[in-house]
A and B are shown apart, each in its own frame.
Chain A
Amino acid sequence: MDLGTMTAQLERLRSDALDAVATAADPAALDAAQLAFLGRKGAITELLRGIGRLPAEDRPRMGAVGNEVREAVEAAVSERSRDLRGAALIARLAAEAVDVTTPGRRIARGTRHPIAETIAAIDEVFGRFGFVVYEGPEVEDDVTNFQMLNIPADHPARDLWDTLYVDIPDHLLRTHTSPGQIRVMRETRPPIRALLPGRCFRYEAVDASHGFEFFQVEGLMVDEGTSLADLKGLLEEFGHALFGVGRATRFRPGYYPFTEPSVAFDVGCVVCDGSGCPACGRTGWMTILGAGMVHPVVLRNGGIDPERYQGFAFGMGVERIAMLRHGVHDLRLFMENDLRFLEQFR
């Protein structure tokens, strides 16, 4: 074969190949066309194998033309391929359309119990002030629950705690988290900033604001200069943290045998914001915790010198805080564990 013939054949093949590519209806047809002209046994490939039989001086020219044809066809193939695949994609996407207004496939998610969540929130506030968590036993002895806290047997103040006694001699179910004060003082040295959350028990008929089992968080801070003013400042911060910055707070005298002076801590009513309503007994205030400066006798029982050190303690009912924070009006809901109630705290 001479150069002229070969060139003419190549040009014909180029034209046929471009036709085949242009008319390929789908990617499969295009692949077939590509294979037919450019594959290992394709027509163009076969033809170009004949270059070796041309005279030596013609070979470079023919090689250049061959490459040009090959590239042209390849370019056409990829362009056609882009077009064909784009169209296929569009068709597929159109077929895949869904009703996007249907809800998603629900993912299971539980909730933390609002009492546990409230304890965590209280923890978080006092944690920022350096308070660390301790825990004590729930079955306590009379000595730690009462006597060490300056509440001797037959003291009239025992009326403040209706007690459940157990069948272990001199033991009871702790009526408050306050015995933890003694345990912490004996376990560590000042400076002390301790927080004691936990379950407590009382002999108390159940109603909307009382239960025989409930949770408290106790706080204890002892150092050389820890004063009533520090307690006041700290509790004000706490009131703001849980009930909103700007919430009014009030300090007034209270009574506990293990604090002197003793304090009742009020926040502005969360229902009426202080203007007076049935929820706050028309006073505009709600008491959220009791506190006071640790009684010198209690410090001494904890092994701390009350001449050198002083401090404060506070104790709060978690249910009460949770009720105020979440607008819950019946404390019994917390122990009933109705999922319709618990799931509101997601």
Chain B
Amino acid sequence: MRVPLSWLRDYVDVDVDLAVLAERLTLLGMEVEAIERWGAAWRSVVVGELLTVERHPRADRLSLTTVTIGSGEPLRIVCGATNIAPGQRVPVALPGAVLPGDRRIERTEKMGIASEGMLCSGDELQLTTDADGILILPPETPLGVDLSDLYGDIVLDVDVKPNRGDALSLIGLAREVSAVTGAPVRHPTVEIVETDPGVADRLRVIVDEPGLCTRFVGRWVTGVRVGPSPDLVQMRLRAAGMRPVSNVVDASNYVMLELGKPTHAFDARAVRDGTIVVRLARHGERLETLDHVVRELDPETLIIADPTGPIGIAGVMGGAGSEVADDTTDVIVESAIFDPVSIRRTGQRYALRSEASLRFEKGQDVPAARVGADRVASLIVAWSGGSVLRGRVDTDPREPGPSRVAFRPSRIERLLGTARAADEQRALLARVGVGTEVAPAGTPVVVAIGTDPLIVEPGVDTLVASVPTWRRDIVIEADVAEEIARVGGYDTVPTRTPETLMPSFRPSPLGVRDAVREALVGAGLTEVLTHALVSPRSAADFPWPDDAEIPSGEEPSGGTVITVRNPLSQQHSVLRQHLPASLLEILAANERHGAERVAIFEAGKGYAAEGGRAREWWRLAFLLAGPADPPAWNRPARPADLDDAKAVVELVAERLGLGRVAFTADRRGNPFHPGRAARVRAVLPESGGPRAVGLVTAPGDLALSGHVAELHPAVAAAWEVRAPRVLVAELAIAGLAGGSLAAPRARALPRFQSVERDLAVVVGDGVTAAAVLATAGRAAGDLLQDLRLFDVYQGAPLAPDERSLAIHLVLQAADRTLTDAEVDGVVATVTDALAAELGGRIRT
């Protein structure tokens, strides 16, 4: 709400310093977001008096004037306006002046005659809407004075919260100023001289929907002469951010800003039979609104109609056909109260929200319907002549008194943590016009309203607040508490740290996610956070496989894509199901900035709909591209490959205390390189002190699953990625959705020597390393402590379809040092198993 200070002063004295006022309003909850100096855009515009006005010798449309600004030689100024005459006082822009819009005025020559400045119109100064004539100032305006000193104003931009519709008005903000300064509020006086006939002879109002239009007050003004409003009115409207239209329409807008009461003025000629019907629109009805858009009305729309059809959308916008025109003589003033919900829905359905509808949506003060109608009628008469027909049409003249809200000062103190006596609380309420009295016996206290209200018996100290009709936000005891806190000042609330009971311990649901993040950051990957809303294209172009299996406690991916019904753009219109496409976009963007080594990860969610509900799941995704290590002069650059990506998976598994990660070939192709993609799985190990993660606690339970792969070059190309190889992975991890890590269990160190043996086994190239290790591991039995692949060899003297895999075994017993015979026995068992199961032979 824009509040011109000079206008505000009509209703309350403002004697405090502006900055102080702004701060105190802010601390009262009426945040002053900006203080604007209205007229600060005029520089070197002064008041002058026209001495002579003559026709320009070479141009009929131009006048040649001499103007004095009170001192110095008279100025010769060429002017195109026709409303000027000697003796008038006018705004003069001197050479070097600046007008709104950063328009600079210089000495110029017009049709051969030099012009030493410019006479200004109201429009050029953005004071009024008149662009044709020069702004004629009152004759007593002092000569030579800077115009900004005369007409400049200060405009406060106040952020009025949605619960304070009453403060969307100058009078409402004057009340707030009064609460701060104690200065009394001056209400505008409404004086109406009425003439016959009575309004009832001309105007009939039928409300078909009394639930949606609870009150309709009508006034009739006859004999008006439509024209521009007084300059001061135009200036005020402009400063408040509204466009002046005509003296009749301006009266309605002026009262809306003044009292917060929206009204509407109809040209009475356009209202057939003087009959107004407030009803719902019918199928097929149309209306051209004031903005000259023809709108199809739907049957949920409350309209103002005459017997022939719609003439306005109630509370939102009038119809063009009944708009006040230059030749309008009779005006019907509508001052009604509409259902806030109906107005809000209508505004949203037609995407049409006006200053009026914003105020209706927040609810209206019932008596204001009468006051508003009278005030508008009186201003129309004052600004455009005519007279007001006797009486009002009023569909429901009942006006409720103040509402009564019971409260317990002691309960309010407990809520606020303050120690204010009841009398002090009452004095604070009085400052905002809320009276108080001791509650009559048995007055219950409303603690909560709504569908499940809570009303309690009064305490010994219960008081009743008498709340003015315009303060529709004070309904329950807590509202009274806020009013007391606000008027008393939040700065008077003591500051203390909580001393109440602590909740019991709860493990953080972020434990596993944080552990994984730390491990990856330590390993050189950078965390990114990308949009959950993605393009529908991204899933189609990057078909990441859904889960075949999932650690228990985690949600499997897959299901119907969730689409946003009102997206900001197609780029961000569906919720993603997988993360890697987002990482690929980040890679591409960083490559455009010249990045070479990109190692990034994200812990984020996937989303899907299923049976009218949403499912969400957490995943860890990472991407590697470019050099595996940061560039260093003392190390050759090596591009990251699948083994680097697998190592990241293994690092995560290790951090979580999981067993060996099993990789199995995934030859699906798109989006993967068909020969360089693996399914991943890891389980909780049998022993070895794992950290129990999430809900997975039994040894052998799946704890990590997903895919790690080199990206198919075609997918990389579609994303315009330059790196020759891109490694991506997405993993489901037990506990990612909300698990925490248990402390690792320590094992006693072995007391007896371990024995190491290396074996090189030659197998067909169709036999995987995983198979060799699994077979060897199984065969080695309980004595096996560690088993690692340490070399892979292909080439002479092996056959072309053979590979040699070298494995390293560590054997150990807990209770003795192994004998050579025992070790040889294990090695023999392993050798035999490799031969029997995989056709392997030992290379010596």
Contact = CB atoms under 8 A, between A and B. Distances in A.
A121 B127 CA distance: 52
B564 A293 contact: no
A129 B527 contact: no
Contacts of B532: 138, 199, 201, 213
A287 B590 CA distance: 33
Interface stretch (A12-20, A49-57, A82-90, A250-258): A250-258
Contacts of B506: 132-133
A281 B33 contact: yes
B564 A165 contact: yes
A207 interface: no
A160 B362 CA distance: 13
A137 B616 contact: yes
A296 B524 contact: no
A147 to B, nearest CB: 9
A139 B528 contact: no
Interface string B464-496: 000000000000111101100110001101111
B344 A168 contact: no
Interface stretch (B254-262, B297-305, B443-451, B822-830): B443-451
Contacts of A160: 162
B496 A233 contact: yes
Count class of interface residues, chain B: 35 or more
B485 A261 contact: yes
Interface stretch (B8-16, B189-197, B366-374, B594-602): B594-602
Contact of A296 (B478, B525, B533): B478
Interface stretch (A21-29, A66-74, A223-231): A223-231
A252 B498 contact: no
A5 interface: no
A212 interface: yes
B417 interface: yes
A227 B415 contact: yes
A340 interface: yes
Given A254-B29, A260-B478, A165 B589 contact: no
Contact of B568 (A112, A169, A203, A307): A203
Contact of A300 (B452, B479, B525, B595): B452
A233 B454 CA distance: 30
B497 A129 contact: yes
Contacts of A150: 450
A43 interface: no
Nearest to A165: B565
A327 interface: no
B421 interface: no
A343 B526 CA distance: 8
B496 A109 contact: no
A125 interface: no
Interface in B4-46: 23, 26-29, 31, 33-34
Given A213-B531, A228-B415, A338-B589, A133 B508 contact: yes
A233 B500 contact: no
Interface string A188-213: 10111110000101011110000011
Nearest to A226: B500
A252 B26 contact: yes
Given A226-B500, A251-B490, A113 B528 contact: yes
Given A109-B522, A111-B527, A263-B490, A297 B450 contact: yes
Interface centre among B27, B517, B528, B586 (most CB of A within 10 A): B528
B416 interface: yes
Interface string B301-337: 0000000000000000000000000000000000000
Contact of B503 (A132, A262, A281): A132
A43 to B, nearest CB: 43
Contacts of B502: 130, 191, 193
B161 interface: yes
Given A203-B566, A227-B416, A343-B526, A135 B509 contact: yes
A221 B502 CA distance: 10
A198 to B, nearest CB: 10
Contact of B415 (A120, A192, A310): A310
B527 A110 contact: yes
B565 A293 contact: no
A230 B497 contact: yes
Interface in A77-121: 102-113, 115-116, 120
A232 B500 contact: no
Nearest to A108: B524
Contact of A234 (B26, B414, B478, B497): B497
A166 interface: yes
Contact of A233 (B361, B449, B497, B572): B497
A111 B738 CA distance: 22
Contacts of A159: 162
Nearest to B518: A112
B634 A237 contact: no
Interface string A312-346: 00000000000000000000001111111011000
Given A159-B162, A229-B495, A261-B482, A173 B564 contact: yes
Residue picked from A156, A224, A255, most chain B C-beta under 10 Å: A156
Contacts of B361: 156
Interface stretch (B625-633, B720-728, B765-773): B625-633
A109 B521 contact: yes
A176 interface: no
A243 interface: no
Interface centre among B162, B456, B481, B500 (most CB of A within 10 A): B500
Contact of A138 (B29, B509, B607, B629): B607
B531 A164 contact: no
B575 A139 contact: yes
A169 B611 CA distance: 11
Contacts of B595: 339-340
B113 interface: no
Given A226-B498, A229-B417, A137 B614 contact: yes
Contacts of B616: 137-139
B55 interface: no
A134 B738 CA distance: 9
A218 interface: no
B485 A296 contact: no
B753 interface: no
Contacts of B538: none
A224 B613 contact: no
B338 to A, nearest CB: 13
A230 B414 CA distance: 11
B623 to A, nearest CB: 11
Contact of B510 (A133, A193, A254): A133
A7 interface: no
Given A192-B503, A335-B529, A338-B589, A228 B414 contact: no
Given A110-B523, A115-B529, A296-B478, A337 B503 contact: no
Contacts of A107: 524, 630
B503 A188 contact: yes
Given A251-B490, A260-B478, A111 B344 contact: no
Given A139-B562, A192-B503, A300 B29 contact: no
B738 to A, nearest CB: 7
B629 A229 contact: no
A228 B416 CA distance: 5
A205 B572 CA distance: 12
A107 B344 CA distance: 60
A260 B479 contact: yes
B792 interface: no
Nearest to B159: A255
Contacts of A337: 528-530, 586, 589-590, 600
24 contacts: A110-B522, A110-B523, A130-B502, A133-B509, A139-B616, A166-B562, A193-B502, A204-B568, A206-B568, A212-B533, A223-B501, A225-B414, A228-B493, A232-B493, A233-B497, A251-B490, A253-B482, A260-B479, A261-B486, A283-B23, A300-B450, A339-B526, A339-B598, A340-B593
Q: Which 6 A-B pairs have the closest CB atoms?
A: A108-B524, A229-B417, A227-B417, A253-B29, A255-B161, A261-B482
